[in-house]
Amino acid sequence: MRFFSDNAAAAHSKVIEAIAASNRLDTAYDGDEWSQKLDGAFSDLFEREVRAFWVATGTAANCLGLAALCPPYRGIICHRDAHIEVDEAGAPGFFTGGAKLTLLDGPGAKLTPDLVAAGCEAIRNDVHQVQPAALSITNATEYGLVYRASEVAALGDLAKQRGLRFHMDGARLANALATTGESLADVSWRAGVDVLSFGFTKNGGLNAEALILFDTSLSDEIAVRRKRAGHLLSKGRVLAAQILAMLEGGLWLDNARAANAAAQSLANAARDRLVYPVEANELFLKVSDEEALRLRDQGFDFYEWGPGQIRLVTSWDSDRSAVDKLASAIAAL
Amino acid sequence: MRFFSDNAAAAHSKVIEAIAASNRLDTAYDGDEWSQKLDGAFSDLFEREVRAFWVATGTAANCLGLAALCPPYRGIICHRDAHIEVDEAGAPGFFTGGAKLTLLDGPGAKLTPDLVAAGCEAIRNDVHQVQPAALSITNATEYGLVYRASEVAALGDLAKQRGLRFHMDGARLANALATTGESLADVSWRAGVDVLSFGFTKNGGLNAEALILFDTSLSDEIAVRRKRAGHLLSKGRVLAAQILAMLEGGLWLDNARAANAAAQSLANAARDRLVYPVEANELFLKVSDEEALRLRDQGFDFYEWGPGQIRLVTSWDSDRSAVDKLASAIAAL
Amino acid sequence: MRFFSDNAAAAHSKVIEAIAASNRLDTAYDGDEWSQKLDGAFSDLFEREVRAFWVATGTAANCLGLAALCPPYRGIICHRDAHIEVDEAGAPGFFTGGAKLTLLDGPGAKLTPDLVAAGCEAIRNDVHQVQPAALSITNATEYGLVYRASEVAALGDLAKQRGLRFHMDGARLANALATTGESLADVSWRAGVDVLSFGFTKNGGLNAEALILFDTSLSDEIAVRRKRAGHLLSKGRVLAAQILAMLEGGLWLDNARAANAAAQSLANAARDRLVYPVEANELFLKVSDEEALRLRDQGFDFYEWGPGQIRLVTSWDSDRSAVDKLASAIAAL
Amino acid sequence: MRFFSDNAAAAHSKVIEAIAASNRLDTAYDGDEWSQKLDGAFSDLFEREVRAFWVATGTAANCLGLAALCPPYRGIICHRDAHIEVDEAGAPGFFTGGAKLTLLDGPGAKLTPDLVAAGCEAIRNDVHQVQPAALSITNATEYGLVYRASEVAALGDLAKQRGLRFHMDGARLANALATTGESLADVSWRAGVDVLSFGFTKNGGLNAEALILFDTSLSDEIAVRRKRAGHLLSKGRVLAAQILAMLEGGLWLDNARAANAAAQSLANAARDRLVYPVEANELFLKVSDEEALRLRDQGFDFYEWGPGQIRLVTSWDSDRSAVDKLASAIAAL
Average pLDDT over residues C106-124: 97
Residues of B whose CB is below 8 A from D226: 127
Give contacts of B67 with chain A, Cβ < 8 Å: none
Contacts for C212 with CB less than 8 Å, ≥ 6 apart:
C42, C46, C50, C51, C52, C188, C195, C196, C197, C198
CA distance D51 to B132: 24
Q: Which residues of D touch B227 (CB under 8 A)?
A: 127-128
Closest-CA distance, B20 to chain D, in angstroms, reads: 27
Mutate to test the interface with A, among C55, C123, C228 (most CBs of A within 10 A): C228
* Average pLDDT score over residue span C174-200: 98
Q: DSSP assignment, residue C194?
A: S
Q: What is the mean pLDDT of residues B124-148?
A: 98
Is pLDDT above 90 for B237? yes
Residues of C in contact with A125 (CB under 8 A): none
What's the rounded Cα separation, in Å, for the pair D11 and C327?
Answer: 43
| Chains interfacing with A (3 or more CB pairs < 8 Å) | B, C, D
B28–chain D Cβ distance below 8 A for any pair: no
Nearest CA in chain D to B230: D128
- Rounded CA gap, B72 and B189, in Å? 25
Q: B63, B206 in Cβ contact below 8 A?
A: no
Burial class (CB in 10 A: 0-12, 13-18, 19+), C303: middle
Quick: pLDDT tens for D38-82.
Answer: 999 999 999 999 999 999 999 999 999 999 999 999 999 999 999
Sheet with C309-313, edge to edge strand ranges: C282-286, C309-313, C303-304
For chain B, give the longest Cα–Cα distance: 59
Residue of D nearest to B93 (CA): D97
Check CB contact under 8 Å for C235 and D206. yes
Band (pLDDT 50/70/90 cuts) for residue A229 is very high
- pLDDT for the residue numbered D306: 83
pLDDT in tens, C243-291: 999 999 999 999 999 999 999 999 999 999 999 999 999 999 999 999 9
Q: So what's the pLDDT on residue B246?
A: 98
Which chain C residue has its CA at the smallest distance from B126's CA?
A: C89
Angle at C164 between CA C160 and CA C167, to 5 degrees: 100
Nearest CA in chain B to A21: B16
pLDDT tens digits for C1-15? 889 889 999 999 999
pLDDT band at D30 (very low <50, low <70, confident <90, very high): very high
pLDDT on residue B300: 96
CB contact under 8 A, D93 and A100: yes
C-beta of residue C200 within 8 angstroms of C-beta of residue C253: no
Tell me the pLDDT tens digit for each residue of D73-109: 999 999 999 999 999 999 999 999 999 999 999 999 9
The predicted pLDDT at position A312 comes to: 97
A72 Cβ under 8 Å from any chain C Cβ: yes
**Residue pair C6/C259 in contact by the 8 Å Cβ criterion:** yes
What is the pLDDT averaged over residues B142-151? 98
Q: What is the pLDDT of residue A98?
A: 97
Q: CB distance D232–C59 less than 8 Å?
A: yes
Please report residues of B whose CB lies closer than 8 A to that of A91. 227-230
A93 contacts chain D (CB < 8 A): yes
What pLDDT shows up at residue B1? Answer: 85
- Subunits with at least 3 CB pairs below 8 A relative to chain D? A, B, C
Q: In angstroms, rounded to a whole number, what is the distance separating the alpha carbons of residues D76 and B232?
A: 23
Query: C97: which residues sit within 8 A by CB, 6+ positions away?
Result: A72, A97, A98, B94, B97, B98, C67, C72
Work out the minimum CA distance from D250 to partner chain B, whole angstroms.
33
Distance CA B266, CA B136 (A): 30
Q: Tally B–C CB contacts below 8 A.
A: 59
With cut-offs at 50, 70 and 90, classify the pLDDT of residue A306.
confident
* pTM for the model: 0.97
SS3 (DSSP) at C169: strand
- For residues B219-243, average pLDDT: 98
Position D77 scores a pLDDT of 98
Cβ contacts of A228 on chain B, cutoff 8 Å: 88-91, 94
Residue A9 sits at the chain B interface (C-beta within 8 Å): yes
Contact assessment for residue C127 and residue A232, using Cβ atoms and an 8 Å cutoff = yes
Residue B83 pLDDT: 98
Amino acid A1: pLDDT? 85
Mean pLDDT estimate for chain B: 97
Gap from C150 CA to chain D (nearest CA, Å): 31
pLDDT in tens, B71-122: 999 999 999 999 999 999 999 999 999 999 999 999 999 999 999 999 999 9
Q: Which of A118, A151, A123 is nearest to A137 (CA)?
A: A151
C137 Cα distance to chain centroid:
9
CA distances from C247 to B10, C34, C198 (A): 68, 12, 12
Positive or negative, the CA dihedral D68, D69, D74, D80 is negative
Neighbours of D220 (CB within 10 A): 12
SS3 label, residue A172:
coil
The alpha helices in chain D, defined as continuous H runs, are 13-21, 33-46, 58-69, 83-86, 91-96, 113-121, 149-162, 173-180, 184-187, 219-228, 237-247, 251-269, 289-297, 320-331
* Phi and psi at residue C325, to the nearest 5°: -60, -45
Please give the torsion angle defined by the CA atoms of residues A61, A63, A66 and A71, in that order, rounded to the nearest 10 degrees: -150
pLDDT digits (tens, 9 = 90+) for D221-273: 999 999 999 999 999 999 999 999 999 999 999 999 999 999 999 999 999 99
| D295 close to D192: Cβ distance less than 8 angstroms | no
If you average pLDDT over every residue of chain A, what do you get? Answer: 97
- Please give the C-alpha separations between residue D38 and each of D51, D210, D240, in angstroms, as whole numbers: 8, 9, 7
Q: How confident is the model at residue B306, as a pLDDT?
A: 83
All residues of chain A having their beta carbon less than 8 Å from the beta carbon of residue B262 are none
Taking 90 as the threshold, does the pLDDT of residue A256 lie above it?
Answer: yes
Question: Looking at chain C from residue 279 to 308, which residues have their Cβ under 8 Å from any Cβ of chain A?
Answer: none
Q: What is the pLDDT of residue D70?
A: 98
Yes or no, beta carbons of B73 and D225 under 8 Å apart: yes
Cα-trace Rg, chain B? 20
Q: Which of residues 210-239 of D touch C (CB under 8 A)?
A: 224, 227-235, 238-239
Give the start-end residues of each E strand in B80-121: 100-104
pLDDT of residue C1: 85
Q: What is the pLDDT of residues D146-169, one digit of tens each?
A: 999 999 999 999 999 999 999 999
Nearest-CB residue to A90 (from D87, D90, D100): D100
pLDDT band, very low/low/confident/very high, at D1 (cuts 50, 70, 90): confident
